[in-house]
């Protein structure tokens, strides 16, 4: 298949000629709008220091678990892609493994994004293959050495207006401060409060994290009271440095309201190492309730990303660590799980709660009805395993008839791969154009109204939902 498919103006648009024509016009309406990225994982220091990108393999293969997991599934050991205790593999060798495996990515979202990057960002003229591995490696390497191919210039070239990072609660946010005060940089790089390792008592460093948190921001209080005070103080610090949201990557979206005395007892049991599995679940659920309370008070948008069985293969985790491709989605229940939180805060003024899922069966059964009633609830865009063209279409089909278009978050790229950001947002815009074009072709939405809707989906929704 020719590399030219990455430049085809009709990629991802409907096959029917009449519907495709409508989709083309809709896409043109939003194609040049700025990128709003309210949730992602790019390191702010890379933007601050304008750090050159590494070699092709270190940039595009080794750190990307979307890529390494599928190559690993074909029988290639991870140490040939990521390195091991015995040492790091040669970058060109890793790239050869990737190019040899390139046919495996046909039809995948990763393949689509990568092919788009190769064409539009790196200017490759030929399809990736085992035969072209050295040529493509050399071409990308040359691109990476160009003075203009640095994060700050690409931030501008990609037309990014807002880029949010995810940050440890005790991060100084020095990079964010430096970027905000730099008169030569005109975009917005916003921190996001990410307290998972401070809320989940099963986390291996939870107790040490709690110690550091209380010492740094507990205002002299100790125990559970100091812990809660410290979280409140650090959230305010993030708000002062431009944060608009707090993100929670939890196993389940269960919430639980406890009185302070019972919560303190759970906290003390955890600190003494005597907490049970039930204690762990109850404490995390209670702290999710507390995070919602704090969001009502300080205005941070609350986003919840549940439903992943992390580190499914223990030997791989022990050797290579987390985020190495073996996180697997699990079934998720929202209706009962989130109810204690929504009972108290679901109609609270200016509270925004964005709910994501890896279990697409809950889109129409639970999430759309919740977003269709509670003023606080918004539908998180298809995420992780679901941020793929067909899954994004299924999302729109599943939720729109119940919740309409106004109750969704706008696209979330959720990526560490800086160079993939425009490809991901472009794919989302094409899918939205395709979905709306079908509604126009079926005389379910007027064409003028569809043009208004796609602008709101792409640009209005993320600004509104994330209070930008």
Task: Summarize pLDDT for 163-195 with one digit per residue, the tens.
Answer: 999 999 999 999 999 999 999 999 999 999 999
- Structure pTM? 0.96
Range in 79-93, 107-121, 170-184, 322-336 the model is least confident about: 79-93
pLDDT reported for residue 2: 46
Judge residue 425's burial from the number of C-beta atoms within 10 Å of its C-beta, 0-12 exposed, 13-18 middle, 19 or more buried.
Answer: buried
255: left (phi over 0), alpha (psi -120 to 50) or beta: beta
Q: Which residue has the tokens 């005790």?
A: 170
pLDDT reported for residue 84: 63
Per-residue pLDDT band for 202 (boundaries 50, 70, 90) equals: very high
Angle between helices 109-120 and 421-441 (to 10 degrees): 110
Among 224, 220, 227, smallest CA distance to 259 is for 224
Per-residue pLDDT band for 88 (boundaries 50, 70, 90) equals: confident
Among 271, 267, 261, 302, smallest CA distance to 283 is for 267
- Does residue 355 contact residue 307 with C-beta atoms inside 8 Å? no
């Amino acid at each position: 298949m020719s590399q030219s498919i990455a430049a085809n103006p009709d990629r991802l648009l409907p096959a029917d000629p009449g519907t495709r024509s409508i989709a083309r016009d809709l896409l043109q309406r939003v194609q040049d709008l700025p990128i709003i990225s309210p949730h992602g994982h790019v390191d702010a220091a890379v933007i601050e220091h304008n750090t050159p990108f590494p070699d092709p393999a270190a940039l595009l293969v080794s750190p990307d678990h979307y890529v390494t997991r599928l190559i690993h599934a074909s029988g290639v050991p991870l140490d040939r892609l990521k390195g091991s205790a015995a040492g790091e593999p040669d970058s060109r060798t890793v790239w050869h493994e990737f190019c040899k495996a390139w046919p495996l990515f046909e039809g995948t979202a990763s393949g689509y994004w990568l092919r788009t990057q190769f064409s539009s960002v790196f200017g490759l003229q030929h399809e990736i293959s085992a035969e072209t591995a050295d040529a493509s490696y050399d071409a990308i390497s040359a691109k990476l050495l160009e003075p203009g191919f640095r994060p700050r210039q690409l931030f501008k070239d990609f037309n990014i207006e807002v880029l949010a990072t995810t940050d440890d609660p005790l991060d100084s946010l020095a990079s964010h401060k430096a970027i905000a005060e730099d008169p030569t940089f005109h975009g917005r790089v916003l921190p996001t409060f990410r307290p998972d390792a401070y809320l989940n008592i099963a986390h291996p460093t939870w107790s040490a994290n709690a110690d550091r948190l209380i010492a740094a921001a507990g205002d002299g209080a100790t125990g559970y009271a100091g812990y809660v005070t410290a979280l409140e103080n650090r959230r305010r610090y993030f708000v002062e440095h431009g944060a608009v949201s707090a993100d929670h990557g939890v196993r389940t979206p269960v919430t639980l309201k406890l009185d302070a005395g019972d919560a303190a007892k759970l906290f003390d049991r955890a600190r003494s190492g005597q907490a049970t599995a039930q204690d762990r679940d109850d404490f995390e659920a209670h702290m999710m309730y507390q995070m919602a309370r704090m969001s009502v008070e300080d205005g941070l948008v609350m986003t919840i990303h549940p439903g992943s069985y992390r580190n499914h293969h223990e030997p791989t985790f022990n050797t290579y660590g987390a985020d190495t491709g073996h996180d697997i989605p699990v079934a998720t229940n929202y209706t009962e799980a989130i109810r204690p939180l929504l009972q108290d805060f679901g109609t609270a003024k200016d509270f925004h709660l964005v709910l994501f899922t890896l279990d697409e069966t809950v889109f129409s059964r639970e999430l759309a009805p919740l977003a269709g009633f509670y003023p606080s609830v918004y539908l998180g865009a298809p995420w992780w395993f679901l941020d793929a063209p067909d899954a994004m279409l299924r999302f729109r089909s599943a939720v729109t008839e119940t919740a309409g278009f106004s109750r969704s978050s706008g696209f979330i790229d959720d990526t560490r791969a800086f160079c993939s950001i425009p490809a991901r947002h472009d794919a989302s815009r094409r899918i939205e154009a395709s979905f709306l074009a079908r509604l126009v072709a079926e005389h379910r939405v007027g064409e003028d109204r569809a043009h208004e809707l796609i602008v709101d989906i792409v640009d209005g929704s993320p600004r509104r939902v994330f209070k930008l």
